[in-house]
Structure formats: C-alpha cells, structure tokens
Structure 1
Amino acid sequence: MIALNLRPTLQLTDEVFEQLCRSNPDLRLERTAQGELIAMAPAGSETGYQNADLLGQLWQWNRQMRLGVVFDSSTGFALPNGAIRSPDAAWIAKSRWEQLTPEQRRKFAPICPDFVLELQSPTDDLAFLQAKMQEYISNGAQLGWLIAPETQTVYCYQPGQAVQLLEHPSCLPGEPVLPNFVMDLTLIWD
C-alpha cells in the first residue's frame, strides 16, 4: 500500500477520482477522507482464493435470503466522511440500497455498507486495516470482520462496542445484521 498526497496541486474530487480509476483499471485505488490517494498491490493468489471462498459464502447466503446486495473487492463506496473505500466483501440491506437512485448506484454509491469484510494479505499492514475498519463503523457499518489468516485471528467490529478479538474461530455468526448467516473459516485456516 502506498499513500500519495496529491494536494494542493490536484483536487481529488469524486469525478477526478472516478476518471483516475477508469484510466488505470489495473490499479486498486482508494481515497482517504483527507484526500490522499491509496494505491494497493493486487492480492496474491492464496489471498484471492481465500477471498473468493468468503465472498462466495456471503453471496450464497444472500441469494437464498434475498435480504440485500453483495459486493466484491472491486466496488468502491463513497463514505459520508468523503473517503472512497473498497472492502474485500460488503453487503447492504435491500431497503437501504433501493433508496439510492440509479445514477448513484452506477458510480461509487454514496453509502456505507451495513457489513464489511477485510481479509489481511501478507503485504497488508494490520494497523492500516484496523483503522479502515474503524472508519467503516464510524461511517455507519453495523458489522465488520477483519480476518488475519497468518495469525488465525478475527477482529469483530460493531458500533458502540469494543473490538472483539477471536483466536482461530471455526465460524463467525452474522446475527443480527446478517440473519441466519454463519461464515465458515475452515478453508482460511488450512
């Protein structure tokens, strides 16, 4: 991850950021609330495999329950604080998603997901990801999981609660945000 501060010469508005992303489709870019541009390296193969498993579980649950919309790591969300972030997986309740206009849905939707998941890759800085998770919670996320495969730990985030640290859990229940959803982590720990 590299943070580039483009101020004062370049104002990184939503439109400029969107053009920058379209002009550089091979880069994973985010914008902080302070206007810094964050360039992240692509995930390694093992991390991509693990993330696909986690996303697949969330997608399958949502496909059956039809309670919301699931997003992958290529999706950017314009958070209330001005940041544009891309969690590894996200979910938004159907009622909140349907409040957005078609135009808002086509761009970086101006909404914080109800649920966010970040999977720490070997090149990710843990402190950076923890700050990002706190940012999601501060901007309206109701549940967040930061999964660290190398240490086999999960950091669980919820508004108004201390971060819960779980060591080598076999599964994660999503209640009450994700009703009847349980994330199986056995593949992640193998």
Structure 2
Amino acid sequence: MDEVIELHYDRLRLNDDEFYEFCQQNDNLRFEREPNGTILIISNTGGESGVRNAEIMFQLMSWNKQAKQGRIFDSSTAFRLPSTAVRSADAAFVTTTRWQALTDEQRKKFPPLCPDFIVELRSSTDSIPSLQRKIQNNWLAAGCRLVWLIDAEAETVYVYRADGSVQILRSFDELLTGEDVLPGLSFVLSDLRLS
C-alpha cells in the first residue's frame, strides 16, 4: 500500500460496473473504493518497493508453478469485498476451487471475493497502523485466511491468521511458511534485502 488520496463525491455514487469502467477509463491511475463509496487514489511505488514486490511475486509464482493450488495476483488486481469495498494488495492468492466458481464476467472485472492469502508490503509512505487497519477492517473481516504485512526496512513481518492470532517475526533470517493456506511454501525473507 502506498500514499492514499481520498475523493469524496456527494452526488456521485458508482455501482460496481460504473466503478470498474471509471478505473478502466483512468488506467494510468490506481484506485480503491471504501464501503461508503469514497474513491481512494493509490500512489505508485518507488524503485525499492518495486524490486521487493517483484521478488515476492517471483517466490509465490515459483511455488504455485509446482503446487498448482490456485491463482496468484499482482498489485494491480482489485477485489470486490462483501462490504462493497474494492481493495488491492501487493500480492494475493485464490484457490482453484474458488476461482473456478466465478463466472467469466466476474473474473474479467474485479473478482467478487476475498483472497485466501494476501501480502501487504510497507512502502516508505505507508504507516504500519494504517496497513494494520486495512488488514483488520478489510481482508480479515472479509474472510482472508492468512495475511503477511512485511516491513522490509525494519526486517519485520506481521503474520495475521483467520483465528485472530498475530505472529511477529523480527528477522529476515527466518523463513515464512504458507501454513495450510499455501501448503509447502517456504518464503525466503532474506531475498527481500537490497544490499
């Protein structure tokens, strides 16, 4: 997640299809939507966040090429949550069964589901409390089973689980596992170091 600017429209309330079209017509910008209809403009990341996000995607894609458990999504994918919020994460995973249950139309637009797993990578403009609120109020509230909040500068990872537990890893010398959500995944945190 990056710096966010809010747009408030007192007279404009976009339904799901209208919001999707709005995003397509402004595809040079990134948007999210609050349940109350407030549209958020999300800033692009800097180079260091981009390198780290590419590494996250690489490791997740490599695991899924072997495991064939579902679909991996990048940071430009937005999901329509049950609250009507539209959110994106730096990386997301949806099981094959849940993905195949969607119609072709639902897959083409903002998939109307909450991913099983997401990664939020803290960029220099993010605050940990704002990302934690996003995780609690959006991803976990909508049924996400496993969330990693990665603060690469502090080499700290917050692991959120659906049962409400939170584990904090304070070293990139440790391995993260996908637990029962991404079985067999061993994520090498030290690969997120830039030096």
User: Which bin holds the TM-score, normalised by the shorter protein?
Assistant: over 0.9
**Greater shift in the superposed pair: 161-170 or 102-111:** 161-170
Q: Which one-letter code corresponds to 1:28 in the other structure?
A: R
- Compute the RMSD of aligned alpha carbons: 1.3
Q: Identify which of 126, 129, 132 aligns with 2:131.
A: 129
In the alignment, structure 1 residue 9 sits paired with structure 2 residue 11: yes
Deviation for aligned residue 1:165: 1.5
User: In 2, Cα distance between the equivalents of 1:54 and 1:131?
Assistant: 22
Q: Identify which of 173, 180, 194 aligns with 1:176.
A: 180
Q: Identify which of 155, 160, 163 aligns with 2:158.
A: 155
User: In 2, Cα distance between the equivalents of 1:163 and 1:45?
Assistant: 29
Structure 2 match to 1:23: 25
Q: Which runs of 5+ in 1 are unaligned?
A: none
Q: Which runs of 5+ in 2 are unaligned?
A: none
User: In 1, Cα distance between the equivalents of 2:21 and 2:152?
Assistant: 34
User: In 1, Cα distance between the equivalents of 2:120 and 2:45?
Assistant: 12
Structure 2 match to 1:57: 59
User: In 1, Cα distance between the equivalents of 2:116 and 2:110?
Assistant: 16
Deviation for aligned residue 1:34: 2.1
In the alignment, structure 1 residue 80 sits paired with structure 2 residue 82: yes
Deviation for aligned residue 1:118: 0.7
User: In 2, Cα distance between the equivalents of 1:78 and 1:27?
Assistant: 18
Q: Identify which of 26, 40, 43 aligns with 1:41.
A: 43
Q: Deviations over 1:111-140 (max 9, x none)?
A: 100000011110112222111111201101
User: In 2, Cα distance between the equivalents of 1:81 and 1:122?
Assistant: 28
**Greater shift in the superposed pair: 13-22 or 92-101:** 13-22
User: In 1, Cα distance between the equivalents of 2:68 and 2:57?
Assistant: 16
Q: Deviations over 1:39-59 (max 9, x none)?
A: 111010111010000111101
Contact 1:6 1:12 in 2 (8 A): no
Count how many residue pairs are aligned between Structure 1 and Structure 2. 190
Identical amino acids, percent of aligned pairs: 42
User: In 1, Cα distance between the equivalents of 2:180 and 2:33?
Assistant: 30
Q: Identify which of 102, 111, 114 aligns with 2:113.
A: 111
Q: Deviations over 1:46-87 (max 9, x none)?
A: 110100001111011111111101100010100111110111
Structure of greater relative contact order (alpha carbons < 8 Å, 6+ residues apart):
2
**Greater shift in the superposed pair: 41-50 or 21-30:** 21-30
In the alignment, structure 1 residue 188 sits paired with structure 2 residue 192: yes
Q: Which one-letter code corresponds to 1:46 in the other structure?
A: E
Deviation for aligned residue 1:5: 4.2
Q: Which one-letter code corresponds to 1:57 in the other structure?
A: Q
Q: Which one-letter code corresponds to 1:103 in the other structure?
A: E
